[in-house]
Structure 1
Amino acid sequence: MNVFVFIGLLLVSFSEEDSIRMQYHHVNSKESLETFISIIEKSDLPVSEVYLASAYMQMAKYVFSPYSKLKYFNKGKDMLEVFISKNPNNIDGKYVRYLVQSNAPSFLGYSSDMVSDKIFIRENINEADIGVSLKKMMLDNLSNE
């Protein structure tokens, strides 16, 4: 399915925030990542900042130079940490950080918040303004790690 058609279908089915959350989980190539970045860079929704930060970190997979890889990763990490420090009770920030930390190479030393983020998400997800199917997916992703 064409990425743009898929994204269009998502926009009709979910709130704008839930659409961004869902699109994030369907990024699986450089092309889909670039499309995702171009969409969320134009968004003024607060949740966009979290997913844009993660998208920058994911871009490290698609560049060759170790310097560029680290540059992308650190740019996204810094964005994410600033967002979380300003919004410490935001489920999306904690969820994305958890996913990033659980998948980051150990030599990056970015794994110190996994346990606390997982606990926070489980304790607060029911009150979050997130669609039920996305809440289930988030909890399933926590269980799979």
Structure 2
Amino acid sequence: MVIRFFVCVSLVLCAICCFGQVDVDKMRAEYATAVQNKKLCEANLKLLEGAANSATEKGYLAAYEILWAKHMGNPFTKLGQFKKGKKLLEEMIMKYPDNIDLRFIRWSVQTHAPSFLSYSKDRLRDKEYLVHNLHKLPNPKGREVIYTYLKEANSYLKGDHVFSQAELNELSK
């Protein structure tokens, strides 16, 4: 009887621990796709709302909050949603300025944010930070996802925002 109790408790604790976790690699990999895929964006947002604990997880929560604004209809609701995600992202960057994922998220949001939102002042600083620090991200799969995103972004960037060949080489380390 006592053994059954401990087995049941162990299974419940295991289920709570395993099913409530965030797969950061998945969030990172699906980030670009979620811009166009409302269901994916909503599913990832809900998961992150319930389980984001680390700085990186909260950064992706902020990113998906911002992306969710794109899928909303009412302009006032969109703006409120965008501001909610932006606020969380900026709070996380203030606490963890050396978090590579946070700087990548802010760079990507500021690169794509409409100019009327006035959210672009950190793009060049974040670009430079990423060029010099992406190689420090301990996750090779994460480095590859971010590098691919940045490299592909070059096709629509202009001026100082374009990654030079030397910068792309530095990013690919």
TM-score by length of 1: 0.81
Alignment partners' CA distance in 1, 2:146 and 2:73? 35
| Unmatched 5+ stretches in structure 1 | 1-14
Aligned equivalent of 2:114 = 105
C-alpha distance after superposition, 1:64-114 (max 9, x if no partner):
222101100000000000000000011111101011001111011000000
Aligned equivalent of 2:151 = 140
Deviation (angstroms), 1:24: 1.7
Matched, 1:30 2:38: yes
% identical equivalent positions = 31
Q: Which residue identity is paired with 2:97?
A: P
Answer yes or no: is the 8 Å Cα contact 1:95–1:138 preserved in 2: no
Structure ID, larger Rg: 2
Q: Which residue identity is paired with 1:38?
A: K
Aligned pairs, number:
131
Match for residue 61 of structure 2 among 52, 68, 77: 52
| Root-mean-square deviation over aligned CA pairs | 1.9
C-alpha distance after superposition, 1:32-74 (max 9, x if no partner):
1101112222243431111111111111122222210110000
Alignment partners' CA distance in 2, 1:16 and 1:30? 19
Match for residue 19 of structure 1 among 11, 15, 26: 26
Answer yes or no: is the 8 Å Cα contact 2:29–2:145 preserved in 1: yes
Q: Which residue identity is paired with 2:111?
A: S
